Amino acid sequence: MHLSTLTRVSALAIAILAPLSAGAVEFVSVGPRATGMGGAGVAVTTDALATYWNPAGLAMTQTVDIRLQAGAQAIDRLGIADAVRDLEDFNPNDSSQANQAKAQDIANRLNRPGANTSLNGSAGLYIKGHIGEHAFGINVSDVATGGSFISNPVQVNGNNISGAMALQGLEVRQVALSYAYAFADKMFSFGVTGKLMQGAAYSGNAPLQGGTELKLTDYFGQATISTALGVDIGAIYRPTSWLRFGAVAKDINQPTFKAPGGGELRLNPQVRAGMAINPYSSLTLTMDVDATSNKTLVPGVKSQLLSLGAEQTILTEFLSFRVGAFKNMQDATTPFTPTAGLGLRIFAFRLDLGGGYDFREKGALASGSISMTF
């Protein structure tokens, strides 16, 4: 398999659904509306996806929502995917000085500090209902993230290039039940989500050899399966009709899964806050920020996102246009990544698409959903 583009690396991750983070779970942007608005969803999500973003949002609208969604994100830091492609294409039988210089260049690119890939994805069925001010939600979903990095430095010996790449991941399949209650004319809303989670942890080490095709799927190994319970809590405060504040704390009980080869993968609590402003009824401006710094499966890479977004609807939500951007505050050199999205509503049917692209790290994300909302 040639790793000529990041898309092909991402496709592999989705196919095996490998990866969530160890030590804490990266806040994956679930759903195209939030994706289109830079990954901001804590204060604005009131459909069935609130079971992921903030269970308190379920009680902010009295609707029934049935939704299917899927999405993925991939980041190629410092062009490691292109370097692996060049390694596969390298001719070890060419003893020329130019080819030896090429071998050293490939090794140097692979060995650069911070060269790695990060991958995440999500998919699931989300359902929301209500009885008066009481709201209920359920989702059956997969949320996954992880990545790869050089574990043994790549070395050059004559025309021979060799090293190793570590592959790590944790897929979490879950059934989640949510309850939310709004009071004081929806000025306040509180929600809780309980999750039955099955973790599938992966770990492997792939040899890197010049002129040899790298088949990552041969080195992930067997998944280590274990189960855990998780608890999320959330709140929304709406002091006026045009202003909302939201906060969610995920995995407050620190769910723990078995790791390959022994040990544990613990999901530490993470806290995220958000704000939404409606200057007028058809325009929403929103912002989210991670209050916690979240580790990932890639050593040295942490995630703490600032997300900004806007949504303009026209013709009573027949069309929705979304733009946004997000930045990892744990990496001062990382620029804001732009995002955009589109929503279409025809009676109860909704179709939503969202995506973004990191021009510096060649990172791409995409999400889509279909739903019926009554």
| Burial class (CB within 10 angstroms; exposed 0-12, middle 13-18, buried 19+) of 239 | exposed
Q: What is the predicted pLDDT for the residue at 341?
A: 98
Continuous segment of H or E residues that includes residue 342: strand 337-346
Q: What is the pLDDT of residues 196-210, one digit of tens each?
A: 999 999 989 999 999
| Burial class (CB within 10 angstroms; exposed 0-12, middle 13-18, buried 19+) of 215 | exposed
Instruction: Please report, as a single letter, which amino acid is at residue 214.
Output: L
pTM comes to 0.88
Q: State the pLDDT confidence band at 13, using cuts at 50, 70 and 90.
A: very low
Q: What is the pLDDT of residues 319-335, one digit of tens each?
A: 999 999 999 898 777 78
Q: What is the predicted pLDDT for the residue at 26?
A: 53
Q: What is the predicted pLDDT for the residue at 295?
A: 72
Q: State the pLDDT confidence band at 19, using cuts at 50, 70 and 90.
A: very low
Q: State the pLDDT confidence band at 11, using cuts at 50, 70 and 90.
A: very low
Distance (Å, rounded) from C-alpha 57 to C-alpha 43? 7
**Percentage of the chain exceeding pLDDT 90:** 66
CB 333: neighbour CB atoms within 10 A?
8
Q: What is the pLDDT of residues 104-144, one digit of tens each?
A: 999 999 999 888 888 889 999 999 999 989 999 999 999 88
Q: What is the pLDDT of residues 251-295, one digit of tens each?
A: 999 999 998 888 888 888 999 999 999 999 999 999 999 998 877
Of residues 296 and 199, more confidently modeled: 199
Q: What is the predicted pLDDT for the residue at 27?
A: 60
369 pLDDT more than 70:
yes
Please name the residue that has the structure tokens 């999901």. Answer: 267
Nearest Cα neighbor of 317 from 43, 47, 11, 17 is: 47
| Burial class (CB within 10 angstroms; exposed 0-12, middle 13-18, buried 19+) of 175 | middle
What mean pLDDT is predicted for residues 167-182? 94
The 3-state DSSP class for residue 55 equals helix
297 pLDDT more than 70:
no
Cβ-proximal residues to 319 (8 Å cutoff; 6+ apart), any chain: 313, 342, 343, 344, 345
Cβ-proximal residues to 239 (8 Å cutoff; 6+ apart), any chain: 187, 245
Q: State the pLDDT confidence band at 21, using cuts at 50, 70 and 90.
A: very low
The 3-state DSSP class for residue 45 equals coil
- Strands 23-24, 264-268: pairing kind: parallel
Nearest Cα neighbor of 83 from 104, 110, 113 is: 110
What mean pLDDT is predicted for residues 37-62? 97
Distance (Å, rounded) from C-alpha 202 to C-alpha 14? 14
What mean pLDDT is predicted for residues 299-320? 91
Instruction: Please report, as a single letter, which amino acid is at residue 21.
Output: S
Q: What is the predicted pLDDT for the residue at 216?
A: 76
Q: What is the predicted pLDDT for the residue at 8?
A: 35
Q: What is the predicted pLDDT for the residue at 123?
A: 96
